[in-house]
A and B are shown apart, each in its own frame.
Chain A
Amino acid sequence: GAVVSQHPSWVICKSGTSVKIECRSLDFQATTMFWYRQFPKQSLMLMATSNEGSKATYEQGVEKDKFLINHASLTLSTLTVTSAHPEDSSFYICSATKGQPDQPQHFGDGTRLSIL
């Protein structure tokens, strides 16, 4: 149990376009979802925390208008990279938790975004 599906797994697009990444909890209700960014050979950097039905909480230094997060249901959160540029190329990973204290986060397989 506790499967998180992320889609797409790999996307290549032109500079200036917007890209949407989906994160779904397949067999549980995810009260809270997290979005991370990972640069090559580095650790995960938390970008934002999203709770179902409310606005996402962004970490310091993350542009809200650049990285739009929507958590419209208990099983789906989306990250939209708006007007993407080559420097936005990265590995994006989502995770989901049931929300109770000390519940583990369950991670998706990540999305590799390449902006040309």
Chain B
Amino acid sequence: GNSVTQMEGPVTLSEEAFLTINCTYTATGYPSLFWYVQYPGEGLQLLLKATKADDKGSNKGFEATYRKETTSFHLEKGSVQVSDSAVYFCALLISGGYNKLIFGAGTRLAVHP
């Protein structure tokens, strides 16, 4: 079946530290991959995406590369800020059908000054 596995949180970092949040997936076919961010009390915002192998998605200093050989889409940022504190969801979308997204469990990031 199709599934997404994320590293468990919370992840606690000091400001300007390097961030990695691991995400691996299992899928039939060739999914598109996404990272969404959820700030407290809000819905989800699309952070970045990649639609095929070796694509790199990037936005606001965050990056993730679609690695087909390791079925991974790890999220990275070189220098985190307090404002990056949120919950991050990795998700995959199976082509065809009704664009159903399959989410990982989410990883909470807390950045301290």
Contacts and interface: CB of A to CB of B under 8 A. Distances in A.
Given A32-B98, A101-B95, A107-B45, A43 B89 contact: yes
B44 A104 contact: no
Interface in B54-80: none
In this complex, the interface size class of chain B, counting residues with CB under 8 Å from chain A, is 20 to 34
A25 interface: no
A102 B44 contact: no
Contact of B104 (A43, A106, A109, A110): A43
A90 B111 CA distance: 27
Interface in A10-68: 32, 34, 41-44, 46, 49, 51, 57
A51 B99 contact: no
Interface string B85-113: 00001000101101111011110100000
Interface residues of A, number: 27
Given A32-B98, A101-B96, A102-B95, A43 B43 contact: no
8 contacts: A6-B43, A41-B106, A43-B104, A93-B44, A95-B43, A102-B99, A104-B46, A110-B41
Interface of B: 32, 34, 36, 41-46, 49, 51, 89, 93, 95-96, 98-101, 103-106, 108
Interface of A: 4, 6, 32, 34, 41-44, 46, 49, 51, 57, 93, 95, 97, 99, 101-110, 112
